[in-house]
Structure 1
Amino acid sequence: MGSAEVTRGSAQKPVGPAPAGSSPETPWPVRVVSSKITQWIDRLGAVWVEGQITQISRRPGTRTAFLVLRDPSADISLPVTCSPNLLTDSPVELTEGTRVVVLGKPAFFPGRGSFSLRVTEIRPVGLGELLARIERLKALLRAEGLFDDRLKRTLPYLPRCIGLVTGRASAAERDVMSVTQRRWPDVQFKVRNTAVQGPGAAAQVIIALRALDADPEVDVIVIARGGGSVEDLLPFSDEALCREIVAAVTPIVSAIGHEPDNPLCDYVADIRAATPTDAAKRVVPDVVAELALLRELRGRSTTALRTWVTREERLLGQLRTRPVLADPGRAITDRAAEVERLRSIARRDVDRLLVAAQSEVSHVRARLSALGPTATLARGYAVVQSISRDGELHVVSTVDNAPAGTELRIRVNDGVFWATAGEREQPKEGDDE
């Protein structure tokens, strides 16, 4: 499939103009093309290259050893040829998985149409150099903020499905699954077995991590591996793997090595577990402990409820023993005499006020009768009023008010009658009496 894609992609890209002397009518022979490629590659100088040895082929009696050098962070390999003496004279045994720095010159072999790197010097990368590079990468990732706690995702309290990335039939896989299922038997696993050391480990872990992160059923991912040397744990300090962990959506637990081991993926993961067993304890709760906690909480709740009920019953008993609730009518009975006394006082006060008011009314009525016109009329006096032409009445107070012929209205004690004024007469002596 890869070659088909490459061919299809090449056909879509425009090809530059053919060099001078090459045309459909006068094409170059294969030997000419191979010679020109050889001449072009020969112009390249020697270069220092770093990688991991993934394959070593040495045949007794031959003057050439064949190696495959692989990029630690990408799935790219390069064939290498060298003298067998470089392998046998190395101060450190060179095996598959050893990281090295080589000095070589690119070479093209026209007879086979192959390319390789002809190496003249091989230097194994020492432990100190590896640690220094890890520290430089660690400082770089920290400066970019990839270790920030604010980027850490929270683990689900009870995951339904756990994704596990680990070595096939490894102790780490056995520990994680056995401890997890013992703590919570209903949990499910989706396991991706990969290489956990060597040149291809980081790339395989990245592929497995992407697959589990894209699975909607996976709630949390555990990357687990047992202890080992710095070289064995080197894939878990790979920059590409660290960035893939940060970019993942699913929470990730790093359980690499033992307590002293600290690969870089521990710093970028959401949770760092000391061991695979510790990772299992962090991912799921212990069903036995949870049931014990439920029993404890149920007992505490029962005790609290019973204490509250007892306290409320005691309070109700105290309230019921109070006189006002023991005999509610007693308060009314005790107050009845007081109410009756107050009613008598009120009635007496009202009667006294009524008598005083009646006496006052009688006195006022007597004064009014004495001062009013009725009493005067009863003594023989009369009120004389003249009647004008328009029918209005005017009190006659002097004889000038009633000339002769004036119609008069005369009111006496027991009624009213009309009369007509006669001639004026001078009063006689003694009439006032």
Structure 2
Amino acid sequence: MDKRGVNHSRMYAAEGENVPALPATAAETTAERPWPVALLSHKVRDYVNRMSVVWVRGELVQVSRGKGALVFMTLRDTKDDASFSVSMRASAFAKLDLEPQQGSEVVVQCKPTFWSRRGSLQLDAYDIRAVGIGDLLQRLERLKCTLFNEGLFNADRKRPLPFLPRTIGLICGRKSAAERDVIVNAEKRWPAVRFATREVAVQGVKAVAEVSEALRELDAREDVDVIIISRGGGSLEDLLPFSDESLVRLAAAARTPIVSAIGHEVDTPLLDLVADYRASTPTDAAKTVVPDMVVERTQLDEARRRAYSALTSRIDREKEALAAVRARPAFAEPHTMIESHAEVIDGAIASARASVTIALERARERVKALADQARALSPLHTLERGYAVVQGTDGSALTHPSEAPEGARLSIRLAGGRVSATSLGED
């Protein structure tokens, strides 16, 4: 019998069945006389219940504040991979001097409690006090500062997402709700959308390697225009792979635009900061990378209507302008303008002819005067008056009798021609 006076042998015996007493201690159990699971659970519960209230130090890796009477947390050892589930009444949680956050290092006043029905141990917290930023958060902050100083978070590195990608690369958990949210919402917006899905581990020791391999494969494909990395939230510890330095640097170096849809607004792994677009949820990622076909068709119809209206208005304005031009006198009676210009041209021609005639007459008179002047000054005109020019045998004109000695042959130039003569000497 236990301390409450319960005979466990009778508790586990069938009605009317006489069974031997169960071992009182764990050391007395054998293969032939084992403890039932429920008995072990009761004994563990009784043992745990005898423990005193204890102060425990650790790092909060998850804080879940729901609408119920309890707040649930996970307390993790900063040096080892040990963790406990912690619950605290919401009323006591609200009265704390601090607001515990994921990554905070705290000390918790608690009482261990064993739930025999499901065989789990958890801590009932009465008080929580801050110690400092947890070791995990410190490492993330140091890495965050390093990547920031290298410029990997700069806005000018963010590439625009394609309007309508040929193929969307999707990296997500196996058979996950995040995968379903992305695909369903994307197909709802654009039914013909195509996906190249890679299901990988999104938490645990294999997550970084599998996500990185899927990212390399999708980034190398020519038909993949955008890559969504989706998980759907979780605790700080669950999201650690998406703050891994090698994965973050791989995403920063990718040639394909990347959309990070790791969690909700409160979750900000480092992958969010290097991605080209950070989606708050997988659904938001689907709405970001795929246009809404209904909206696009509505906008297209509206644009077509505006274009038709603008073209019709332009044609109407041009018709009115053409009618106004045709109504002008120059187009209504075009021969009037031609006739007025013809009269001007005829007058100009007559004036030009008169000017040319006068100029020619004056030129003729000038030429005649110059001809008369040249004739009056011509030696031939002098010869016509009875004068002659006597030349020697060398053709030079003689001006003195001494130049024609007796017997010299002479050539006498008259107005009507030449005659030869012989000089008789000076007279």
What range is the shorter-chain TM-score in?
0.5 to 0.7
Distance 1:333 1:100, change over 3 A: same
Match of 2:420 in 1: 418
For 1:366 and 1:424, locate their aligned partners in 2 and report how far apart those are by CA, in whole Å. Answer: 38
* Match 2:357 to one of 345, 351, 373: 351
Structure 1 segment 189-204 matched on structure 2, within 5 A: 189-191=195-197, 201-204=203-206
- Paired residue type of 2:240: S
Give, in whole Å, the separation in 1 of the partners of 2:336 and 2:232: 86
1:181/1:187 contact within 8 Å kept:
yes
Q: Which residue of 2 aligns with 1:259?
A: 265
- Residue 100 in structure 1 maps to residue 77 in structure 2: yes
User: Is the contact between residue 165 and residue 192 of structure 1 (CA under 8 Å) also seen in structure 2?
Assistant: yes
Task: Indicate yes or no: 2:250 matched with 1:243.
Answer: no
Distance 1:266 1:396 in 2: 126
- Measured at CA, do residues 252 and 129 of structure 1 come closer, stay the same or move farther in structure 2, by a change above 3 Å? farther
Paired residues for 1:321-340 under 5 Å: 321=327, 330-340=336-346
Taking only aligned residues, the RMSD between alpha carbons, in angstroms, comes to 4.1
Shift of 1:366: 3.5
Instruction: Note the alpha carbon deviations across 1:124-149, whole angstroms, 9 max, x for none.
Output: 59863286334313321222216513
Q: Which residue of 2 aligns with 1:276?
A: 282
Equivalent in the alignment of 2:170: 163
- Is 1:385 matched with 2:375? no
Distance 1:296 1:332 in 2: 51
Selected match of 1:409 from 403, 408, 411: 411
One-letter code aligned to 1:235 = D
Listed one character per residue, the Cα deviations across residues 218-269 of structure 1 (whole Å, up to 9, x for unaligned) are 55443444455xxx34220347645314314354433344333334443344
Aligned length: 314
**8 Å Cα contact 1:164/1:189 also seen in 2:** no
Equivalent of residue 105 in structure 2, options 121, 129, 145: 129
Deviates more, 1:258-267 or 1:177-186: 258-267
Contact 1:177 1:280 in 2 (8 A): yes
* 1:284-303 C-alpha deviation (Å, 9 max, x unpaired): 12111122222222233333
Seq. identity, %: 33
Conserved? CA contact 2:239–2:269, under 8 Å:
yes
The superposition leaves residues 134-172 of structure 1 with CA deviations (integer Å, 9 ceiling, x where unpaired) of 4313321222216513554544433323414136453x4
Give me the whole-angstrom Cα distance separating, in 2, the residues matched to 1:378 and 1:157.
Answer: 111
Q: How far apart are 1:183 and its partner, in Å?
A: 0.9
Aligned partner of 1:209 in structure 2 is 211
Q: How does 1:41-80 map onto structure 2 within 5 Å?
A: 61=26
Q: Distance in 1 between matches of 2:370 and 2:346?
A: 36
Task: Tell whether the 8 Å contact from 2:260 to 2:279 is kept in structure 1 after alignment.
Answer: yes
CA distance in 2, matches of 1:376, 1:140: 128
User: Closer, same or farther in 2 for the Cα pair 1:372/1:184, shift >3 Å?
Assistant: closer
2:298 to 292, 295, 304: 292
C-alpha distance in 1, partners of 2:194/2:364? 106
Counterpart of 2:170, as a letter, is G
Q: Which runs of 5+ in 2 are unaligned?
A: 1-24, 29-43, 57-73, 87-101, 107-132
Deviations 1:279-333 (A, max 9, x none): 2212212111122222222233333333444444445555555566666665443
Rounded to whole Å, the distance in 2 between the matches of 1:179 and 1:418 is 134
Match of 1:361 among 357, 367, 390: 367
Matched with 1:399 is 401
Structure 1 residues 145, 179: closer, same or farther in 2, change over 3 A?
same
Measure the CA separation in 1 of the matches of 2:289 and 2:136.
28
TM-score (norm 2): 0.59
1:35: which partner in 2?
none
Distance 1:220 1:316 in 2: 53
Counterpart secondary structure, 2:192: coil
Structure 1 stretches of 5 or more lacking a match? 1-59, 64-83, 105-121, 426-433
